[in-house]
Amino acid sequence: MWIGDSMSNQLIPVLSDTELHEIDREISHAPYRHAVAIDALKIVQAHRGWVSDESLKAIARHLEMSAEELDGIATFYNLIFRKPVGEKVILLCNSVTCWIKGYEKLEQQIGEHLGVTLGQTTSDNQYTFLPVTCLGACDKAPVMMVGDDLHENIDAMDLSKIFRSAKEAQA
């Protein structure tokens, strides 16, 4: 279902009822609508995987703010994705303790295992490979997240198991 946007004269998609309900629940305890900009971006991303230009415009309209301002907010935060990502996002910690414990080698090994480099998505659309700030598990370095799961004390031997089980869970 599409509606016309009178200001830009473009068609923008309507957010789903579920998305609107979740965003409105945040608005209910906020002093003004665009105070929930980040929550709204995260809600839509949780449903759609990423925030497209069309989604961004629809959120901005619902929050009564400009799409440009909302995009300025969206692009500030590294965990709001303005490009499509794979089914699961790999967040590899590249902060100092993981560096001491060899994340650079691990980055190379993961890249070879999946055929991607940081910033890329695998050809089967399963994984997007990204770096992340210290994950707060430095006693178990090196660490990474794959989707919602934290993997600790990672060894190259673990990789086929981690990515196979992640794929199986997906299937």
Partner 1 sequence: MNSSVLDKPLTRNVHPDKRPVNMAGYEANGGYQGLRGAMGKLSPAECLKIIQDSNLRGRGGAGFPTGMKWSFVPMENASPGHKYLICNADEMEPGTFKDRLLLECDPHQLIEGMILSAYTIQANIAYIFIRSEYLLASKLLREAIEDCYVKGYLGKNILGSDFSLDMYVHASAGRYICGEETALISSLEGKRANPRAKPPFPQVSGLWGRPTIVNNVETLCNIHHIIERGAEWFQSLGLTEDSGTKLYGVSGRVKNPGCWELPMGTPIREIIEDYAGGMEDGFKLRGFLPGGGSTDFLTNDHLDLAMDYDTIGKAGSRMGTGTMIILDDKTCPVGFVKNLVEFFARESCGFCTPCRDGLPWSAQVLDDIEQGHGREEDMITLGRQVEYIGAMGNTHCALAPGAMEPLASGLKYFREDFERHISGSACPWCDGGNH
Footprint on this chain of partner 1 (rule: CB under 8 A): 29-31, 34-39, 41-42, 72-73, 76-80, 91, 94-97, 99-102, 104, 132-141, 145, 148, 150
The whole-angstrom separation of Cα 146 and Cα 88 is: 6
Q: How far is CA 105 from CA 14, 95, 100, 110, 154, in A?
A: 45, 14, 11, 9, 11
Give the nearest distance from C-beta 4 to partner 1 in angstroms: 27
Give the nearest distance from C-beta 1 to partner 1 in angstroms: 27
- Nearest CB to partner 1, comparing residues 96 and 169: 96
- Nearest CB to partner 1, comparing residues 72 and 115: 72
Under 8 Å CB-to-CB from 59, ≥6 apart: which residues?
15, 23, 37, 40, 41, 44, 51, 70
- Nearest CB to partner 1, comparing residues 69 and 124: 69
Q: How far is CA 132 from CA 2, 114, 129, 146, in A?
A: 36, 18, 10, 12
Q: With residue 166 as reference, give the H or E element that holds it.
A: helix 159-170
Give the nearest distance from C-beta 141 to partner 1 in angstroms: 6
- Nearest CB to partner 1, comparing residues 9 and 31: 31
Give the nearest distance from C-beta 2 to partner 1 in angstroms: 27
Q: With residue 153 as reference, give the H or E element that holds it.
A: none
- Nearest CB to partner 1, comparing residues 124 and 149: 149
The pair of structure tokens assigned to 170 is 């997906």
Question: Helix (H, G, I), strand (E, B), or coil: what is residue 86?
Answer: coil
Give the nearest distance from C-beta 120 to partner 1 in angstroms: 18
- CA 40 distance to own-chain centroid: 13
